[in-house]
Amino acid sequence: MGQCVTKCKNPSSTLGSKNGERETGSKSHGKRSAVHKDEHASACGKSSGDVLVNGTKKAEAALESGPPSAFSGDTKKDSISSVEESSLQRIGELFRRYKDEREDAILEEGMERFCNDLCVDPTEFKVLVLAWKFQAATMCKFTRKEFFEGCKAINADSIDGICARFPSLLHEAKQEDKFKDLYRFTFQFGLDSEEGQRSLHREIAIALWKLVFTQNKPPILDQWLHFLVENPSGIKGISRDTWNMFLNFTQVIGPDLSNYSEDEAWPSLFDTFVEWEMERRKKEEETKCITSSDTEGLCTEEQT
């Protein structure tokens, strides 16, 4: 949906990038203060070597112990607060760049521009993963809260920063527990919350199954989707239970379906699928045998 106009680069600014610099500066300042106090004591005629603390000169003890804890703690808090505030400002500027003029959210038009700047297609798996991390409630929409919390969750506050996070996000989505969470999120994401939907339209479910299994496609997926397209059972929608159980189905049932049992607590749609698929495979084998026999007969006639 449009060509990319921005190339993704390394992030120029991310959360917490300046924290280490502020802390280092604070420690150096504390050490200089301790040395200055020692020099001041000597200038006033007090020998720093005359007073020992556990066998150590007072000035040396001050240098080793570092700056007073109250000073260091306050500086560190101020540094963290400053970095977080700057990052929130950048997230706010990014959100305003794409938000709708009349609604405090990024809607379809803004989402398309957002995806163009990220160099991704709105229908791409990366966008689904991003929506998952943002915990978006509706397709083609990011509310202000979702956008802010999502950017903080992935530790990015710029287009370049988000682009740089994609590899780690895709890797995270491959982990079994994380993928299960992404998979369950996808069902809810596909529902029309404004209409109060409780099941996915068959066509939407097919598209989302193709999308969510982009990185780890199960062997049985193509046959399952073919069954849904042919729709021999006349189904109109996919329930949450069927959606969730299909992930278990792909993990337990082998590609040849030989270990499937109707006695187990599978959704009835799975019974229909297995029966339909086994019958389809049987007809396919019969067709191959007939074709093979005809070919052999033809070859024999030609040789004669």
Question: Residue 107 — pLDDT band, cuts 50, 70, 90?
Answer: very high
For residue 2, report the phi and psi dihedrals to the nearest 5 degrees: 105, 150
Averaged pLDDT for residues 217-241: 95
Q: Assess whether pLDDT exceeds 90 at residue 95.
A: yes
Asked whether residue 139 falls in the same domain as residue 124, the answer is yes
Q: Which two tokens stand for residue 83?
A: 């970095």
Of 282, 286, 287, 279, nearest to 232 (Cα)? Answer: 279
pLDDT the model gives residue 82: 76
Q: What is the pLDDT of residues 156-170, one digit of tens each?
A: 999 999 999 999 999
User: Is 57 within the bounds of a domain?
Assistant: no
Q: Assess whether pLDDT exceeds 50 at residue 91.
A: yes
Percent of the chain with pLDDT over 70: 69
Averaged pLDDT for residues 65-92: 69
- Residue 242 maps to which CATH number? 1.10.238.200
Q: Among 173, 193, 214, where does a domain finish?
A: 173
pLDDT the model gives residue 290: 81
User: Is 26 within the bounds of a domain?
Assistant: no
Q: What is the pLDDT of residues 133-149, one digit of tens each?
A: 999 999 999 999 999 99
pLDDT the model gives residue 191: 94
Averaged pLDDT for residues 270-279: 95
Give CA–CA dist 283/124, Å, rounded. 36
User: Is 50 within the bounds of a domain?
Assistant: no
Least confident range from 8-17, 118-127, 170-179, 241-250: namely: 8-17
Q: Assess whether pLDDT exceeds 90 at residue 10.
A: no
Give CA–CA dist 215/29, Å, rounded. 51
User: DSSP characters for 21-83?
Assistant: HHHHHHHHHHHHHHHHHHHHHHHTT--TTS-EETTEEHHHHHHHH-S-HHHHHHHHHHHHHHH
| φ/ψ bin of 2: left (φ > 0), alpha (ψ from -120 to 50), beta (otherwise) | left
Question: Residue 287 — pLDDT band, cuts 50, 70, 90?
Answer: confident
Asked whether residue 196 falls in the same domain as residue 208, the answer is yes
Give CA–CA dist 297/289, Å, rounded. 12
Q: What is the pLDDT of residues 25-74, one digit of tens each?
A: 444 444 444 434 444 343 333 333 443 333 444 444 443 444 444 445 56
Asked whether residue 145 falls in the same domain as residue 249, the answer is no
Question: Residue 9 — pLDDT band, cuts 50, 70, 90?
Answer: very low
Give CA–CA dist 211/123, Å, rounded. 8
Asked whether residue 195 falls in the same domain as residue 285, the answer is yes
Averaged pLDDT for residues 79-91: 84
Least confident range from 7-16, 36-45, 238-247, 280-289: namely: 7-16
Asked whether residue 200 falls in the same domain as residue 153, the answer is no
pLDDT the model gives residue 203: 96
First to last CA, the chain: 60
User: Is 10 within the bounds of a domain?
Assistant: no
Total domain count, the chain: 2
Averaged pLDDT for residues 212-226: 96
User: Is 129 within the bounds of a domain?
Assistant: yes
Q: Assess whether pLDDT exceeds 50 at residue 150.
A: yes
Non-local CB neighbours of 126 within 8 Å, separated by 6+ positions: 118, 120, 166, 169, 170
Asked whether residue 239 falls in the same domain as residue 159, the answer is no
Asked whether residue 133 falls in the same domain as residue 237, the answer is no
Q: Among 123, 151, 173, where does a domain finish?
A: 173
- Residue 140 maps to which CATH number? 1.10.238.10
pLDDT the model gives residue 4: 36
Give the domain extent around 248.
175-291
User: Is 63 within the bounds of a domain?
Assistant: no
